[in-house]
Amino acid sequence: MTPQPLDTAATEALLAFWRDAGVDACYLDAPVDRTVFVAPPVAQTVQRATASITAIHGSRHGGLSGADAVGEARRLAAAATTLDELAQAIVAFEGCPLRAMGAKQAVFARGNPQGSFLLIGEAPGEVEDARGEPFVGQAGQLLDRMLAAAGLADQAFITNTVFWKTPGGRPPTPQEQAACAPFLERALALIQPKAVLLVGAAAAKSVLNTEEGLMKIRGQWREWRPAEGGISAPAPTPALATLHPAFLLRQPQAKRVAWADILSLAARLDTAKVEPNA
C-alpha cells in the first residue's frame, strides 16, 4: 500500500480526541495495537509477574523502591534549611514515579512564605505543569478570588500533595503522595503557618491520614501531625479541609459551603493574630 500524505487536520482532530479522553502523554516510541492479542513469550510473562509483585510490595521508580524513595525524600528534605533549598531538593528528587509520566517540570509553590496559612491542593494540572506554579489555571483563579474576598489574598503559601502533574489529571496515588510527603512536612516546618487549608479529597485524606469522606470532614478543624518518622513541625498544626475549586466550577451550588469554610479559616487566623498560641 502506498503511504498516504499526513492529513494535518485529521491528525490534530485525533490528538484532540485522545487528549479529551485523558491520553496526554506517550510512553513508547511506537504505538501498540492492544486490540490484537499476541501471547507473550515465557520470559516476558515472568517479567510481568515480577513487576506486579513489585507494584504490590512497593513500586520501583527512578531505581528506588517505594520505601527507598520515601527515605531519599526525607534525606533531601531534612537537608533543606530554606524554601529555596527545598525547591531545589524537589527538582533533584527522582523517587516520585510521576516525574516519568509526562510532566514537563516540578511544580512546588507560590504565594507568601510569611503568610499565615499553608494551602495544600491535590496535584498540578496541565496549566501548572506548563507555568511551573501551582493553582494558576481556572480552578486557581476561582481560589484566588475566594481568598481575596475573604481578605486572605496575601496570606497563603500554596502547594500540592505531589509536585508533578498526574497523567490525565487523575488524583495522585497514596504511593505518589507518600514519596512527596517529606517535602510537604519540611515546608510546614520551615513556614510554621498558623493553619493549613486542605483543598479537595486527595489532600485532606493524605494529610489527615484518614479514609473519611470529604463531605463528612470538610469544615471541621482537625490537626496535622506529620507521620511518625517524618520531619515534625514544632507543634501539631490546625488543619481545615474544604472543597476543591475545580469541583466548585462544576457544581457552583457547592460554593456556599466552601465559602463557609474559608470564613472559618479567616476567623481562626484572626483569632491567631490576637492569641499567637491559639
Report the interface residues with ligand URA, using CB under 6 A. Answer: 121-125, 128, 134-135, 137, 139-140, 160, 200, 246
Cβ-closest position to ligand URA: 121
What's the half-sphere exposure (Cβ side, CA atoms, 13 Å) at 35?
Answer: 0
Max CA separation in the chain (angstroms) = 79
- Whichever of 72 and 108 has its CB closer to ligand URA, that residue is 108
Shortest distance, CB of residue 121 to ligand URA, whole angstroms?
3
Shortest distance, CB of residue 253 to ligand URA, whole angstroms?
20
Spatial contact of 124 and 134, defined as CB atoms under 8 Å apart: yes
- Whichever of 64 and 152 has its CB closer to ligand URA, that residue is 152
Shortest distance, CB of residue 46 to ligand URA, whole angstroms?
39
Shortest distance, CB of residue 252 to ligand URA, whole angstroms?
17
| Coil vs helix vs strand at 235 | coil
Spatial contact of 75 and 231, defined as CB atoms under 8 Å apart: no
- Whichever of 85 and 126 has its CB closer to ligand URA, that residue is 126
Q: Which residues is 238 bridged to in the sheet?
A: 223
Shortest distance, CB of residue 195 to ligand URA, whole angstroms?
18
Grid cell of 6 as nine digits: 499526513
- Whichever of 237 and 242 has its CB closer to ligand URA, that residue is 242
Task: Report H helices in 109-254.
Answer: 126-131, 138-149, 174-191, 201-208, 214-217, 245-250
- Whichever of 69 and 199 has its CB closer to ligand URA, that residue is 199
